[in-house]
C-alpha cells in the first residue's frame, strides 16, 4: 500500500506544473529585462506553478527595472525572488525587483539596498541650498514608485524610501526584521521548501504555492539576450570603445594593414549598439576622443610622451564621466578604467614614436638616400673613375685626383652617375 501511495505521489508530481528558474547575475539592463519579462510571459502561457528568480545584481538601468517590476506586479503566476547564494546582493535596481515579488527571500551573508545612484565625480553631492530641479524630480518619482511597490506587497515602505534617499543598505537578517523580505534560506531548495503552502495574491486571484518536490525547469538567456546583457555592462562598453579607437589609430598610423581597421570598426559598432540603449554623458565620450587625439599628436610632433600622458588623463576622466547619469547606477570598474587608459596611452605613445622616427629618419632609397652616403674609390684618377657605393659599382666624377680605396661621400646624383668628394673635406 505504501509503495502504491509513493507511486501516486510521484505520478502527480511529474504531472504538476513546474517551477521556472531564472538567474540574473550582473546588471539590470535591456538584455536581462527581456530575459525575465519574456520568461514570465512564457510561464503564464504554460500555467507554471511559479517563477523563481535567483538574484545577484549590483543594480542597473531604471527603465529596465521598471519593465521587470511591471511584469512581476501584473503576473498571473507567483513570482519568487531569492537573493543568493551567500555573498550575493540586491543592489540599487535589485531592490525594486526583490520587493515586487510575491515572496522574497535572501541567503545569509547577503545584502540589499543602496538604490540611490552614486556619482564617481561627486555629481550627487549637492549643497542643501543648491538643488537640481530635474534630479529632485527623478528622485521623488523613484521614491513614489518604490513606496507603491512596497505597499502593494505589504512591505516596509519607509525603508524603501530610505534606500533611495539615503542609499541605505542592510544585511539579510536586518531585512527580515524590517519586513523588507519574507524569509532567510540557505539554498534554493530550502527556500522552496519554506514557502510551500503559502498563500499569495496574483493578478488572476489567490494561489497556494506548491513548491516542495515540484519539477523545476531552468531557462537561460538566448544569444540575443546574452549579447544585449554583455553590451549593457559599462566596463565592457568602455573597453570596446577604447580598443576600437586604438585599432583605428594604429591603422591610421600604418595605412594598409587593414586588420586593425576591421577590428576597430567592429568594436566601435558593438560599442555604439551598447551606447544606443544606455544613458551616457556626451562630455565623457568627447573627452575620450580628445584623449586619443592627444595620443595621435605624438606621431606628428614627437612630444616625448607628454601628449600621451595628457591623452591618458583625458581617456580616464572621460571614462569616469561616460556613465555618470542619474538614471543608471552602474559605473566602469576603476581598475579596468585606469589600467586600460594607461595601456592605451603606452601603446599609442610607442606607435607614435615609431612613426615619428620613420618620418624623420634618413632616406635610404632613391636619390635622397644616396646623397651623403659614404663610398670607396675602386678606380682612381684625375677627375673621374668608379666608386663602390651601396653594394654596387658606380661611375663617379670629382675635382682633382683621387686614389684607389680612398673614402668619399656623395654630393649629388644624376641617373647612374654620382659626384663625390673626399671624406676629409668639408661638405
The least confident of 180-184, 206-210, 376-380 is 376-380
pTM (2 decimals)? 0.74
Q: What residues pair up with 419 in beta bridges, in sequence order?
A: 397, 412
What topology does CATH give the domain 10-224? 2-enoyl-CoA Hydratase; Chain A, domain 1 (3.90.226)
Give the Cα separation of 134 and 139 in Å (integer).
9
Model confidence pLDDT, tens digit, residues 110-161: 999 987 754 433 344 444 444 566 777 888 899 999 999 999 999 999 999 9
Looking at residue 356, its pLDDT comes to: 60
* Residues 6 or more apart in contact with residue 93 via CB below 8 angstroms: 28, 57, 59, 60, 61, 62, 64, 65, 115, 329
| Average pLDDT value for the chain | 85
Handedness of CA 148, 150, 153, 154 (dihedral sign): negative
CB-based burial, 161-200: b 16+ in 10 Å, e otherwise: bbbbeebbbbbbebbbeeebbbbbbeebebbbebbeebeb
For 154, the grid coordinates are 505589504
For 123, the grid coordinates are 555629481
Where on the phi/psi map is residue 346: left (φ > 0), alpha (ψ -120 to 50), or beta? alpha
Cis preceding linkage at 85, omega within 30: yes
Annotated domain spans of the chain = 10-224, 233-360, 366-422
Looking at residue 299, its pLDDT comes to: 64
What topology does CATH give the domain 366-422? OB fold (Dihydrolipoamide Acetyltransferase, E2P) (2.40.50)
Cα dihedral 254/259/261/263 (nearest 10): -140
- Other Cβ atoms closer than 10 A to 344: 25
Percent residues over pLDDT 70 in the chain: 84
If DSSP codes are grouped into helix, strand and coil, which group holds residue 259?
helix
- Helix (H), strand (E) counts: the chain: 15, 16
Whether residue 357 has pLDDT greater than 70: no
Place of cell 531548495: 189
- Burial-class residue 336 by CB neighbours within 10 Å (0-12, 13-18, 19+): middle
Q: Are 314 and 294 contacting, i.e. CB atoms less than 8 angstroms apart?
A: yes
Q: Which of 38, 2, 170 has its CA nearest to residue 99?
A: 170
Beta pairing, strands 407-414 & 216-218: unpaired
Report in angstroms the alpha-carbon separations of 254 from 69, 147, 211, 288, 308: 51, 58, 63, 22, 18
Model confidence pLDDT, tens digit, residues 92-104: 999 999 999 999 9
**Chain centre distance of CA 382:** 75
Mean pLDDT of 373-393: 85
Amino acid at each position: 500500500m505504501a509503495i502504491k501511495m509513493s507511486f501516486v505521489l510521484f505520478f502527480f508530481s511529474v504531472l504538476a506544473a513546474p517551477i521556472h528558474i531564472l538567474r540574473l547575475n550582473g546588471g539590470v539592463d535591456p538584455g536581462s529585462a527581456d530575459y525575465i519579462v519574456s520568461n514570465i510571459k512564457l510561464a503564464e502561457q504554460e500555467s507554471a506553478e511559479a517563477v523563481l528568480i535567483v538574484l545577484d545584481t549590483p543594480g542597473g538601468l531604471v527603465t529596465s527595472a521598471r519593465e521587470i517590476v511591471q511584469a512581476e506586479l501584473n503576473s498571473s503566476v507567483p513570482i519568487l525572488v531569492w537573493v543568493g547564494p551567500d555573498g550575493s546582493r540586491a543592489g540599487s535596481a535589485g531592490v525594486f525587483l526583490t520587493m515586487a515579488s510575491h515572496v522574497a527571500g535572501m541567503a545569509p551573508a547577503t545584502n540589499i539596498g543602496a538604490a540611490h545612484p552614486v556619482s564617481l565625480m561627486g555629481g550627487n553631492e549637492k549643497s542643501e541650498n543648491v538643488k537640481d530641479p530635474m534630479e529632485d524630480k527623478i528622485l521623488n518619482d523613484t521614491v513614489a514608485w518604490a513606496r507603491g511597490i512596497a505597499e502593494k506587497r505589504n512591505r516596509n515602505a519607509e525603508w524603501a524610501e530610505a534606500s533611495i534617499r539615503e542609499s541605505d543598505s542592510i544585511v539579510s537578517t536586518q531585512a527580515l526584521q524590517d519586513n523588507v523580505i519574507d524569509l532567510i534560506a540557505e539554498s534554493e531548495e530550502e527556500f522552496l521548501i519554506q514557502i510551500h503552502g503559502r498563500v499569495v495574491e496574483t493578478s488572476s486571484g489567490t494561489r497556494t504555492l506548491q513548491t516542495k518536490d515540484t519539477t523545476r525547469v531552468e531557462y537561460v538567456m538566448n544569444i540575443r539576450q546574452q549579447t544585449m546583457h554583455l553590451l549593457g555592462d559599462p566596463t565592457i562598453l568602455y573597453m570596446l570603445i577604447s580598443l576600437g579607437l586604438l585599432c583605428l589609430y594604429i591603422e591610421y598610423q600604418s595605412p594598409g594593414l587593414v586588420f586593425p581597421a576591421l577590428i576597430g570598426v567592429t568594436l566601435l559598432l558593438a560599442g555604439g549598439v551598447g551606447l544606443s540603449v544606455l544613458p551616457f554623458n556626451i562630455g565623457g565620450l568627447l573627452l575620450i576622443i580628445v584623449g586619443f587625439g592627444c595620443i595621435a599628436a605624438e606621431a606628428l610632433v614627437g612630444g616625448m610622451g607628454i601628449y600621451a600622458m595628457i591623452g591618458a588623463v583625458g581617456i580616464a576622466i572621460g571614462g569616469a564621466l561616460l556613465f555618470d547619469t542619474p538614471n543608471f547606477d552602474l559605473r566602469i570598474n576603476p581598475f579596468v578604467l585606469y589600467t586600460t587608459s594607461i595601456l592605451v596611452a603606452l601603446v599609442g605613445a610607442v606607435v607614435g614614436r615609431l612613426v615619428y622616427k620613420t618620418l624623420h629618419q634618413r632616406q635610404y632609397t632613391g636619390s635622397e638616400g644616396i646623397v651623403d652616403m659614404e663610398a670607396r674609390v675602386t678606380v682612381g684618377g684625375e677627375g673621374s673613375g668608379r666608386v663602390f657605393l651601396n653594394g654596387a659599382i658606380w661611375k663617379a666624377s670629382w675635382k682633382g685626383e683621387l686614389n684607389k680605396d680612398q673614402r668619399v661621400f656623395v654630393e649629388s646624383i644624376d641617373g647612374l652617375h654620382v659626384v663625390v668628394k673626399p671624406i676629409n673635406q668639408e661638405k
